[in-house]
Structure 1
Amino acid sequence: MLQQIRDRAQGIVIWIIVGLIIVTFALFGLSSYLTDTTVVNVATVNGADVTPNDFQRAYQNYQQRLQQALGDKYRPELFQEEKVKIEVLNSLINQELLNQELDRSGYRAAPEQIVNRISRMEVFQEDGKFSAERYKQILNSQRINSLAFEQQIARDLAEQQLTSGMLLSGFITNDELDRFSRLQSQKRELEYILLPRSHYLDSIELTQDEVEAYYDKHKTRFTTPEKVSVEYIEINLDDMSREIEISDEVVAEYYEQQRDTFTRQPEQRKARHILINVENTEAEPAALAKLKTIQEKLAAGDDFSQLAKEYSDDIGSARQGGDLGFFGHDVMDKAFEEAAFKLKKGEVSEPVRSRFGYHLIKLDDIKEAQVAKLEELKDGIRHDLQIQQAEQAFYETVDKLNNLSYEMPDSLAPVAESLGLELKTSVMMTRDGGAGLFSSAKLVAVAFSEEVLAEGRNSQLIELSDTHVVVLRMAEHIPAKQQPLNDVVEQLKNQLRDEKVATKIMADSVATLEQLRAGGNAEKLAQRLNLEWKSVGSVARVAGEADTLNPQIRFELFRMPRVANGQKGYHNVLLANGDGVVLILSSVIDGNTFTKENKLNGQRQLISIYGKAVQSAWMVELREHADVTINKPAADE
C-alpha cells in the first residue's frame, strides 16, 4: 500500500517542486485542546462525530489567526466564506481520520515525552525555565482542563511519530536533486500591463433597474443577523475557591509536608567504583579477597582511579578510572544506590554486593536537590488548597443547579434565588458568538438551540470544563430580518460596481491578450490604451528583502508554462486588490545545481517535500477508504 501511495505522490511532488509554495494554516490555537460533545453532527467519520461545536471553534480560530496574521489589512470580504468553511471541515475530517489511525496502529507518547514537550513550550516559561504556576494560570485563563490539554499533547506527539516516518521515507537521486536546485533558483523575464481598478470606477454607471435586480437576486446578503440575549447562571470552581481564606501558616505547613513534590532537580551523586565480577557463589571468597587487597592499597595511599583501571571488571568505566558520572535515584542497582547515597564526599564504601558482583564505591561529588522556594510557590499552593476546600461545595451546588433548572424549566430566577447565585444577562449576540464567556462555541450553539429558542425552556447543564458549568435560557430573541433596499443601497451599489469593474477588467485583459498574441508590442499597446506598462526584468522564484513585486504576480508568473527560446507566454489575472494584470513571460533562466556546501541542506529540503507529498497522498488514501458523511447544512448554521 505504501508503494501505491508513493506512486500517487509523484504528481504532488512535481507540483510542489514547481510551485515551491507550501502554505500551512494552523487552525487550532491553545483553546483547541478542549473537547466538546453535542447532539447535532456536521460530519460523521467512520462512526465518530464532528460536532457543530468542533466546527465553529475551528472556523473561529481560523478567522482569528487570519486577522492576527494580516492585522489592519484583514478584510473578510476578500475570503470566500463557503470555500473557507469547506477547508475547515475537511481539515477536521482529516484530523479525525488521523486520530483513528493512531489508535488503530497503537502509537503512544511516553509520559516523559509529554512532560518534556510542555516544559519546552515558551508560553509556560519564566526566565527561560518552565513555571508550574504559569502553566496553571494560562490554562485557567483559557478555561482549559489540564488533563485534556495533556491528552492532546500526547495525541500530537503520537501523530509526529506516525508522520515522521513518512517525512524520512523519501529517497532522492542526484538527478532529482539537481533538477530541484535548478527549479528553486530559476528566474523568469517579466513585463506586464496593469489595468488599474481606479481607471474603471468612474466609467461604471448603475441604473435603478440594475440595482433593484441585484437586490432581488442577492437578498440573503442583505439581512440583519439573528440575535439572542440569554439569562444564565454560572458556577466556576475557581470563582468559588477565591472566597476561601487560606493563611500563610497553612501554606507553609503544606509546603513542608509536600517538599519532595516541589523538587526541581533531585539530588545527584558522582561516584567511581571498582567492580569484581562474581559468576557464582563459589567465586565470592576470591572476589572479596581481591577487594581486601585493593582496600589495603587504598589505605596505603594508592589512587582510587589507578586501582580502578588496574583491577575493575567494568571495562566501560575502568578506562575512566571507574568514573560513573552523576546519577540520581532509580538508576543504579538498588544495593549500589543505597550505599552510594549513604557516603560522604571523598569516602570509600565497604564491599557492596550487587547482581554483577562486589563493588568498592568512592563518592566524588554531590549535587544537592534543588527545591523551589516557598516564596515562589505560595500563591500556587494557596490556590490549590482553596480549590481542594471548594470542590465539595462546587459539586453539591452543580448537582442542585442541574436538578432545580430541570424541575423549574420555565424560569431561572427561582433557581438562582434558591442557590443564592446571581442571575446574569448577556448582551445580544449572533450565531458567530459574542464576547467573554460567550466566545465559547458550545454556549452559542446551546443559546441558539431549539430547546432554548423554540421551546423556551432552560437549557441542560452545559459543562465548559470539569470545573465550570452554565445553565441558560432565552431573554430576548431578534430573528434575522430582510433589510429594505433603501437601507443598504450604498453597500449594494459598491458590490455591484465592484463586480461590473471586475467583469470589465477581465474582458479588457482578454482583448489585450489577443492583441499581444497577434504580435502587438506591449509598451505601445499600453500607451494606446492609456494603461501602465512595466518591464520588470529577471524575477526570482523567491522574493528577496528589497523585492517589491506583488506576490500574486510572482505566483502567477511561475505557474505559467515554460516558453521556448524566442517565444513569449501570456496570462491574465485579476489581483486581490481589484486590479487586472496581463503578464508577458519572455524567457526562463534555470538556476545552478547545489554547491557542495549547500547540497546536504538541499537534499533535506527535497526529502521533506517528498515526505509531505507522501503524507498528503496517504491522507487521500485514508479518505477514499473511510465512511464519511457530511451534513453541510449543520456547518452553514
Structure 2
Amino acid sequence: MLDFFRNHQRLMMMMLILVILPGLGFVGIQGFRGFFDESANVASVNGHKITRGEYDNAWRQQMDRARQMLGAQFDPKMFDTPERRKEMLDGLIQQRVLADETQRLHLTVSDDALRRALMADPVIGSLKNPDGSIDLNKYKELLAMQGITPDQYQEQVRYSMAMQQLPAAITQTSFTPKTLAQHLTELAEQQREVQGLAFRSKEYESKVQPTDAQIQAYYDAHRDDFATPATATIQYLVMSPATIAASANPSDADLKKYYDDNIAHYRTAGEV
C-alpha cells in the first residue's frame, strides 16, 4: 500500500488539496471557535469570529502547498509578505460569508450528486478494482493518512459542493460566444514544455579572447550589421501673404516706427 502512495505522489497532492480547501470553511472555522479569547480574533463575520489560530493554520497549509509544488526553489520570503497575508485574511472572510449565506439558504447536495462527484475524482478513480468498484480498504487507508474518516470526508465534499452553488449560479448566467468558448478550450488543453538556458558573459570571458585581427575580420564580414542608415532632421517655416495678413494687422504708428528703424533699407544713395 505504501508503494502505491509513493508511486502516485501527484494524486496524493490533489487529494490533499481537495481535503484541505473545504476544511478551511467546514472544519477550520467551526473547530477552533471557543478556544481563543476575543483578543486573539483576527476578524468577525456576522458575529462569527475568525481566530488567530484558524488564520495561522490556514497560512501554514498554504505555505506547505507552495513548498510541495516548488521544492528546492521554495523561498518563504517570497510568500510571507503583507500583501499575501491580507489576501489570506480576505479569503477566510469570503469563505465565512459564503458559508453563512449557504446555511441561510439551506443549500445542500443530494446523495446521488455527492456519489457522482466522488466517482469523478481522479484520486478516488485510481482506487477502482478491475470490475469498476472502489477498493474500500485503500480508500479508508488513504483518508486515514489525512486523519479523517470516509464519513467526515464525504461531509466535507458535500459542504464544499453546497458552497459552490452560489458562485456557480452567478457565473453560469453569463453568456460566452461559441467561438470564444472554443478558443479558450483549445488554449486550456494546450501544453508547452519550456527549458531555460542561460548564457552569462562572465563565464566566457576567460575562454574567449579574440585578437584584433579576428575582431576586424568579423567586422568586415558583418559590416552591414553595424551600419546606421543616414538620417536628417529638417525644420522649415512656410510663410504666405494670406497667413501674414490673417495674423498681423499693424497700425500706422507701428508702420512709421518700423520705417524709421529700418530707413537704410528704403534709402537710395545719391548719383550724378
Query: Which residue in the other structure is 1:152 paired with?
Result: 156
Identity %, equivalent residues: 23
Aligned partner of 1:77 in structure 2 is 77
Distance 1:158 1:31, change over 3 A: closer
Deviations 1:240-278 (A, max 9, x none): xxxxxxxxxxxxxxxxxxxxxxxxxxxxxxxxxxxxxxx
In the alignment, the residues of structure 2 paired with residue 549 and residue 148 of structure 1 have an alpha-carbon distance, to the nearest angstrom, of 48
Distance 1:141 1:27 in 2: 10
Q: Of the candidates 21, 30, 38, which is equivalent to residue 19 of structure 2?
A: 30
For the Cα contact (< 8 Å) 1:31–1:142, is it kept in 2?
no
AA at the equivalent of 2:167: T
Q: How does 1:551-566 map to 2 (within 5 A)?
A: none
My pick for the range that moved more, 124-133 or 50-59, is: 124-133
Q: Which residue of 2 aligns with 1:163?
A: 167
Q: Normalising by structure 1, what TM-score?
A: 0.23
Higher helix share: 2
1:96 match: 96
Change (3 A) 1:50 1:71: same
Is 1:114–1:154's contact at 8 Å kept on the other side of the alignment?
yes
Q: Which runs of 4+ in 1 moved over 4 A?
A: 26-29, 546-550
Q: 1:168/1:31 Cα in 2 relative to 1: closer, same or farther (>3 Å)?
A: closer
Q: Take 2:138 and 2:153, find their aligned partners in 1: how far apart are those partners?
A: 15
The residue number in structure 1 matching 2:105 is 105
Letter matched to residue 138 of structure 1 = L
Q: Residues 302-451 of structure 1: matches in 2 within 5 Å? A: none
1:30 shift after superposition: 2.2
CA distance, structure 2, for counterparts of residue 143 and residue 98 of structure 1: 26
Q: How far apart are 1:171 and its partner, in Å?
A: 2.3
Distance (whole Å) between structure 2 residues aligned to residue 545 and residue 152 of structure 1: 36
In 2, distance between residues paired with 1:131 and 1:121?
14
How far apart in 2 are the matches of 1:102 and 1:95? 10
CA deviation vs aligned residue, 1:387-415 (integer Å, no higher than 9, x gap): xxxxxxxxxxxxxxxxxxxxxxxxxxxxx
| Shift in CA distance, 52/92, structure 1 to aligned 2, threshold 3 Å | same
Are positions 1:142 and 2:131 aligned together?
no
Whether 1:126 and 2:127 are equivalent positions in the alignment is: yes
Shift in Å at residue 45 of structure 1?
0.6
Q: Which amino acid aligns with 1:131?
A: D
Mapped to 2, the partners of 1:143 and 1:173 lie a distance apart of 45
Alpha-carbon spacing, 1:76–1:89, altered in 2? closer, same or farther (3 Å):
same
Q: Is the 8 A contact 1:28 1:58 kept in 2?
A: no
Q: Which amino acid aligns with 1:39?
A: F
Alignment of 1:478-557 (within 5 A): 545-546=193-194
Residue 44 of structure 2 aligns to a residue whose secondary structure is strand
Map 1:211-290 onto structure 2 (within 5 A): none
Structure 2 CA distance for partners of 1:126 and 1:172, relative to 1, 3 Å: closer
Unaligned runs of 5+ in 1: 1-25, 186-541, 551-637
Instruction: Name the residue aligned to 1:39.
Output: 36
Rounded to whole Å, the distance in 2 between the matches of 1:137 and 1:90 is 35
Instruction: Evaluate the alpha carbon distance shift between residue 85 and residue 546 of structure 1 in structure 2; reply closer, same or farther with a 3 A threshold.
Output: closer
Q: Which has the higher contact order (CA 8 A, sep 6+)?
A: 1
Give 1:95 deviation, angstroms: 0.7
1:62 to partner: Cα distance: 0.6
Structure 2, unmatched stretches of 5+, are 1-14, 199-272
Q: Which amino acid aligns with 1:126?
A: L
Specify the code of the residue in structure 2 equivalent to 1:99.
A
Q: What per-residue deviation string (whole Å, max 9, x for no partner) do you get for residues 484-512 of structure 1? A: xxxxxxxxxxxxxxxxxxxxxxxxxxxxx
**8 Å Cα contact 1:109-1:158 kept in structure 2:** yes
Aligned length: 165
